[in-house]
Structure 1
């Protein structure tokens, strides 16, 4: 292309840009009559300029949309990239030091011969925390409990992981930090079966991976968290079939049963306040938190959870009468036990799935939703049997190990 043609094109582009700028400037003038006169006398082709600008804008948006859609499709076709979380691994799970946080209470297992020194950071009625406590109590572990303020959460500010439960296990160079209730239970159970390998070695079997979700957000997942790690063959008292069945119903407790709780416990504002007052009583918040903190937890927490429960009801596709959804899922569990013909999923004694379901339900024991559940299903009988078994068992497995 010749220099003259290039100069001509440049001039045309500049002229169109000049006219567009002029038009935009005069649009902002308050005197519309002056604008009309100027547009008529000085810029007789103003309508053509508008058409040109509009055309260029439409073309630009269209091209951008096509390119964006193509790029999105290209990215969607790429395999998800899973990378090991740099915060994972036995070395990085060691906490060198933690603040001097007062212990809320201490549980002593009279038959505990493991030598493990455990600290459990928890909310007293969090279903996942209750699940861990049911496991620890059933197997007779000794452990310290630190109540976490569910609003301020200052007791876990030292941790990058901001959820509960968190279990700290004292080791030579600090504390081994275990996150996620199911991983905690799996790791400790695996350790009890084969103590020679040491708990830090067991924890290496549960790495955390990071991956990009469909919406572009970074997600983290603990691998193998429902798996028991046996170095040798399956223990004599277990079969492959009952291990798979146990794993299935442990996942059900986390993925289904738990999601029935909040929409039922916080179904109405009155029930939400009743639940939080019970949480305060069972957690002895009057002893562990100042009055203003306790007031904020109860009243702010109750209102917030009442609002959140509405979204959770929709997200998990619960029935309009959320109580019926709770009854239905608990009846699924009871029918499974009836079909198997045993009192517990584990047979004559509970297994990890029984403890998971019991632990989840124990988190709402003092709520109206639990009272209604007992009145409209046969879950209350199984629950009471489990409660007595957990209390009486008290570490028989530790004594026999």
Structure 2
């Protein structure tokens, strides 16, 4: 079992072009519509900030005193190690029995899509190995075989699953078919809906709050996406400019007057929902924890995400989630 010991630092841009991802609203069919598809759904290298493992060093000092002194020192170290192991065990994952784990899982995605990242958070937490097919936002040739033209699409042992929340529900049923309803189910459902209906809508106005932040985001996209040289130039400058204005429209649509205030309020709302618990699920994350973590993970190391952690209380929970979710279960396609 993979231990939950990775301080995840996946720097990815949140992509929320609502006409091409699950949970979207309709958009204009104008010429800018095509451009925004390119801009918002550029891919990024998932390994950009991966592999930075946290290393735990236990200093051992040689003692030249009595054997009792040596024994006491060693005993103290052993107690410290045991205590640290106990803390980590609280957040250790419990993968499902091998017989219920799907054998062949393939995710068709845009790397920066919050809904795709929500699915990946679930797969990573439950140690379900999966392959990733990055969809070209221009041609979408990778999903031409499907009647469903949005992402994420998850193929599970040959069965097509769509819509991030529905995908997670279906997988959850497969992993634990005999699960009984509990008192916490209503709370979990409430906050999962909050993620889809509220949290995701405050993210784009923050990412594209001004031209500087928009360019920061699109500079990363063009460095790692599936684009030709000409597409890269178009996406970086025209895309950043276009999304700056789109973010203003989103602010109006969702009655957001101050982008950062809305983001901070959402983060604090979530922390308040925890009500002193390590996770909404108690000692371990539930599906609502994984949903919030998944949609926030792409922005965590952008300026908006750094500001969020600096100005709200969400940082401790986020770090616990990084430890609990652990390393990616992604395998090479």
| CA-CA distance at 1:308 after TM superposition | 1.3
State whether residues 151 and 297 of structure 1, in contact with CA within 8 Å, keep that contact through their aligned partners in structure 2: no
5+ residue gaps, structure 2, are 1-44, 48-94
Q: Is the 8 A contact 2:102 2:157 kept in 1?
A: no
Q: TM-score of the superposition, structure 1-length normalised?
A: 0.55
Picking from 206, 212, 228, the partner of 1:270 is: 212
Contact in 1 for aligned 2:205/2:248 (Cα 8 Å): yes
Other structure's SS at 2:154 match: strand
RMSD, aligned CA = 2.5
Secondary structure of 1:178's match?
A: strand
Q: Is the 8 A contact 2:102 2:156 kept in 1?
A: no
1:332 aligns with 2:269: yes
Matching residue within 243, 248, 251 for 1:313? 251
Native 8 Å contact 1:275 1:366 kept in 2: no
Q: CA deviation at 1:152?
A: 4.0
- In 1: Cα distance, 2:219 partner to 2:323 partner: 26
User: Are 1:303 and 2:241 counterparts?
Assistant: yes
For the residue of structure 2 that corresponds to 1:125, the secondary structure is coil
- Asked if 1:354 is matched to 2:296, the reply is no
Structure with greater proportional helix content: 1
- In the superposition, relative to structure 1, how do residues 150 and 300 fare at CA in structure 2: closer, same or farther (>3 Å)? farther
Q: How does 1:55-94 map to 2 (within 5 A)?
A: none
The alpha-carbon deviation at position 393 of structure 1 amounts to 10
Q: Secondary structure at the match of 1:342?
A: coil
CA–CA distance in structure 1, aligned partners of residues 128 and 322 of structure 2: 17
- Match of 1:142, SS? coil
Structure 1 unaligned regions, length at least 5 = 1-103, 195-231, 396-401
CA distance in 1: counterparts of 2:136 and 2:142, whole angstroms: 7
Q: What is the match of residue 322 of structure 2? A: 387
The match for 1:166 is 153
1:248 — aligned with what? 190
1:177 aligns with 2:164: no
1:365 and 1:343 map into 2 onto residues whose CA distance is 19
Cα 1:147/1:297, change in 2 over 3 Å? farther
Larger Rg: 1
Which residue in the other structure is 1:81 paired with? none
- Tell me the matched-pair count: 236
